[in-house]
Structure 1
Amino acid sequence: MSFNLYLLFIMSNAILAMPPFQWQQHIWDLFCSNHEAEKLPHAFLITEQHGVGAKSLALAMGQYLLCLSPLERLACGNCKGCQLLKAGSHPDLVQVHLEEKARQIKVDQIRAVAEFVAKTPQQGGYKVVVLWPAEAMNTNAANALLKNLEEPSGKTIFVLVSHQPSSILPTIKSRCAKFFLPAPPREQALEWLESVSVADAEFLLDEAQGAPLLAKEWHDDGEIARRGKIVASMVSIAQRQLEPMLFAKQLTGQEPYDVVQLMMVAIEVVLAHKCGQRKVLGHYRDLVVAVDRCQSRVFFKLWDRLCQKKRQAQSVANLNPALFFEELTMDWHAATGFSSAA
């Protein structure tokens, strides 16, 4: 089957789901086998590295379950159930996700799920709840969801998606069948990116750390240019052509977690280059030249520091972004202190 068929289009709550991506096929086959044997668990937890397609897989599972005439383990796309999904009006599907500008899934959203679960399916089959990212539930929301999972109702199926399963309540995880969705083999990911007309596929895939859907998203929305500007500022810091406080101000409005993650990718590129293990592509070419005189041990030490900052960005509720960025840029400035030495 052509890779071009492996697409998921989501507009509002409308779903037009095609077969799973090729690298998801083993999970899809297991899911379908359990369905055919009438042994579906009432809850699934799909974990992934961000950008591998867990959300699209979860929604494809939902469409398959709500399709009235599935064909060869695929939703038909034409029955009343599929038409309702395409229109975003299927009464037996609920999607739970972060509201606009929200950082947490709130308890009121889960209470609405409880009301949905208590109702009889309007189409006479399954009811499906797709929730992502599961780690975004606050404590009250997580506890409310747990009550639903502890007392499953009829043919209701929960599909949770997470990029950080360690942040989910252990009691929730214990009540879910678990699927881990790894990044696909490199050649398979490059083949898919090229099939959907992504230029510089090799560089973008490296930038997205092997996640093909994230690479395509960055290609389409200009994210790669934003990342390039940040790396260019890192080069200027290393060359002592930019003050770290000015760099910190340039980062205003950026997500702290995303900036830390980008700096960690940059360090990976630098260290791999120093070991002769990686071809340097895109906006990292100037960076490896700028820090060529810095010793590897300095970057290993900075890596440990960035791991701490990453945890801080994930866990601190009232993070001060300005202070966070100042500390981050000063760390980079200190680590590259010998790069411009004579």
Structure 2
Amino acid sequence: MRFPWAHFFSLSRSLWTATDLPLQHGLYSLEITNNGPITTGAQATVQARLRMKNENVTSNWYHFNWVYAPLILIEKSEQQLNSIINVTGEFPGTFPVSVWVTHKHCWLCRPIARNVTVLHITEFITGNLTIAQIEDSRVTTHGSSPSMDTVTRISFSLHDPSHYFKSASFVYNWDFGDGVYQITKEPFVYCNCSSMGKRTVHLKAVAEWEQVGSIIHERKMMQKTGDFTTALELLETRVMENLNFPPLALCWLIKSECIPLEGDKCHLVEISGSCYNLSHTFRDAGQYCLSVRVESGVTMLQTYHGIKVRPAGIHPAFFVLLCIALVSVMLVLVLYTTFRSHTQQKYLVEVFSYSYFELG
């Protein structure tokens, strides 16, 4: 005798096995991404996009079936070929989020595509550390030749796609690995490192904000922390020849003072070698600074160079005026000399004529 529940179990198993078959005919591909990792209480965005591998496949409306438990769904939006859900989690862990696509109004039909992604949720602050080594050659000692001083910028980038920490205030505790500690309210710090070699930099970020309860509107202070570590290696700058360099992004700027080059507020060029010739015309004399930033992938190098522009000398127009003045003075002198000589000769003739008249 076969019980009804056994028949139901057999039917459910057959449906599950059907949905677990490979993708139908390979006519579709389904891409799924998420913007994790996130901290507990924050929201993550999971997006699925359906693509057609065959151009002859007619476009139709589709339905996206999501499986996200035990996460909590905040919002869902669906268009013709893509779907987006916003989820949150109150507990840390690694949670799979899957989706399969069926034709519209046919949810029990065999799925045409499916995929899965893994969302990481942690109870700590999420982010990463970046390091930029800057060479500064502006330092001089009592008029001697410039001495190289290495300045390293260590920055923390907060990963908060849902702006969960928008009202939080941060405190950053830096440990440079050589017995030097520093506390800042800014997510970056400058380190004057004079010794070459490897070291480990530790950062503890602390976020604190006030949260209002949704039921009885009680106020309480919330706090989250995050520990981050990165390896810092300071290398000497050496000239390398006969090497094949990857394409480099060079950004330069000439100002009256040396400033860090951030963003795109500079002249950006792409070079494929290790040398670049820069030509610039200075209109006024004075003290200038050439700031240069070079990037290759995740590596960045920034340097400064002081430039002193002196006056170019006598202006051509002033030189012409000076020549005209000199010629005019010479003409005046010649005319004056000629007039004076002519006057003296006339006076001598008159005196001679008068003396001859008296003698006669």
Q: TM-score range with shorter-chain normalisation?
A: under 0.3
Instruction: Please give the TM-score of this superposition, normalised by the length of structure 2.
Output: 0.22
Q: Select the structure of larger CA radius of gyration.
A: 2
**More strand per residue:** 2
Q: Which has the higher helix share?
A: 1
